[in-house]
Chain A
């Protein structure tokens, strides 16, 4: 039994609005094992990106972490000073941000951006050693050495994404959080980038949290998948189980709505809409759209519990 490298406990995140606080992450707890690939899937507004940024304490106002703990290797990140947290980021837990192709500085060469990250985290190296380190990092993510002297606009989308991955892994973090890392890339390039990420993760023995809405990408990449709905984690199961025997009714309907390449079928969307986060329904958040809802679902929030070995879900009917 491997130990958890990261533990999120009862995390609660609000967005303050003039009309009151909106709950974006609603009492979420989960663990991440060393070397594991965990997916966090959900539709827009389900809180998956907010959760990712909160773990790194990168959430900007009006977002606000109201309660909860994030344990990384015996340290609760929520209690660290701002400066200590800054040192933990990148060195121990790194982010590959959403639309990271736009997160590179357009007026700095790739090698300067890589060196910047190293120096900022106290890596003191001679000029020649930095150049060598940059070359190694680029090679590691599958980029040619010439890329070091290039500016971001000279690179294709997939190459920029690789450069971002190179920065993220430059200090050999234990945890990599990738927030929709390939959402702007074509499928062929997406596959190459994800294969690169998989190889690096193996080499580093790092754990990865992949945040996204593409269930296909999740199916192909992660070991375990968490499904979010209206700020809550409704199910966390081994990824195979999610596709073969999903537990939560929302997961079941989500899987059924995916277009298949195997067989033509009728289109089965999920009727209704996710609830507004400001006025969540009482009881289970999914009950207004759930075809199996009973009276209890309208009044009592279901507990998130282990329904089958390693498979957790929050539903009264299970």
Chain B
């Protein structure tokens, strides 16, 4: 098994100002392995402040980890030769959240597609470049004749985001890191874009790290899921297990808070009595302890490790301490294999 991209014990702290001793922990001791032979879709779910965008930026080498390292084919992103960087920039693509901000409004949308073709010499002639661009646009359900030659403001948000997916596909990457790719897109187009990402995974064997706050789309698209809370992994594993029978009290709270779009009411808006306090101070123990109804004294003393509760799941909670503990670098052991894929299966 060879790894394409690996995060190893990555911690990222942000401090503001010279004298600030209280650095904010954006991500703590995070590890993840993306296999190069077995394409996978991994969802990373968390609320705002959980560290999910920091994770995306770390995986892309846009920020350097405070501790730990991110490796591309075994080489540290922060210490890579020019040639390896070039290969990395081709193999690992990104789709950002905001389909409005990523475009230069003075250029036609063609610009974001022709630039990579020129930079990476993907086509030998103008006609070949054109054919290549047309192919990727069609792959995401856009008609080239209705898309090319337009300015960003002439396209809808959904169209703009699909052009971004097409741009990522153009380079035939092996991994796409998508940071909230559909959160600014309307529901009816959301499904189209996620469908395009899933097709690209199935047909071209591209792995996907899908970062989102939305558990429903994460469930729909991914095989494995990682739930983050304030920078730490609370639960990880097979998406079916985590979503259907969440183990960690935080995952349970998250699941019960989702407004389900169905005729069945799961919210009790008829007898709401919740009040809300100020945020609690940082503690050495479990980060969720101050909100957890089942917290006991050990929870306040030390952060729980990941417990391997099921074959395909690990939970960072002392409620499951009878299960064997799993080193954070072994989190992938709780992931399922790419069962839905026929090619490239090495197990």
Contact = CB atoms under 8 A, between A and B. Distances in A.
B257 A253 contact: no
A214 interface: yes
Contacts of B274: 142, 192, 195-196
A162 interface: yes
A15 interface: no
A187 B47 contact: yes
Given A144-B277, A186-B213, A199-B273, A243 B261 contact: yes
B123 interface: no
B268 to A, nearest CB: 7
B215 interface: yes
Nearest to A270: B188
A171 interface: no
A220 B270 CA distance: 11
Interface in A54-84: none
Nearest to B265: A220
Contacts of B188: 43, 253-254, 257, 269-270
Contact of A220 (B215, B266, B278, B279): B266
A162 B267 contact: no
B216 A257 contact: no
B92 to A, nearest CB: 24
| Interface size of B as a range | 35 or more
A91 interface: no
Given A195-B268, A216-B261, A261 B243 contact: yes
Contacts of A220: 259-260, 265-267, 269
A88 interface: no
A159 interface: yes
Contacts of B262: 219, 243, 260, 262
A244 B265 CA distance: 13
B119 to A, nearest CB: 31
Nearest to A245: B263
A264 B223 CA distance: 11
Interface of A is mostly: helix
Given A142-B275, A194-B269, A221-B269, A216 B189 contact: no
B47 to A, nearest CB: 4
Given A44-B186, A253-B188, A216 B260 contact: yes
Given A44-B157, A254-B188, A269-B195, A261 B269 contact: no
Q: Interface residues of B: mostly helix, strand, loop or mixed?
A: loop
Interface string B37-67: 0000000000110000000000000000000
A215 B257 contact: no
- Assign chain A's interface to a size class: 35 or more
A255 B193 CA distance: 17
A269 B276 contact: no
Given A44-B157, A158-B276, A261-B215, A191 B260 contact: no
B259 A191 contact: yes
Interface string B127-164: 00000000000000000000000000000111100000
User: Which of A260, A269, A271 gathers most chain B CB within 10 Å?
Assistant: A269
A307 interface: no
Interface string A23-52: 000000000000000000001100000000
A317 B299 CA distance: 60
Nearest to B216: A259
Contact of A187 (B186, B213, B261, B277): B213
Contacts of B260: 216, 219-220, 261
Interface of B: 47-48, 156-159, 186-195, 198, 213-217, 219-220, 243, 253-255, 257-263, 265-279
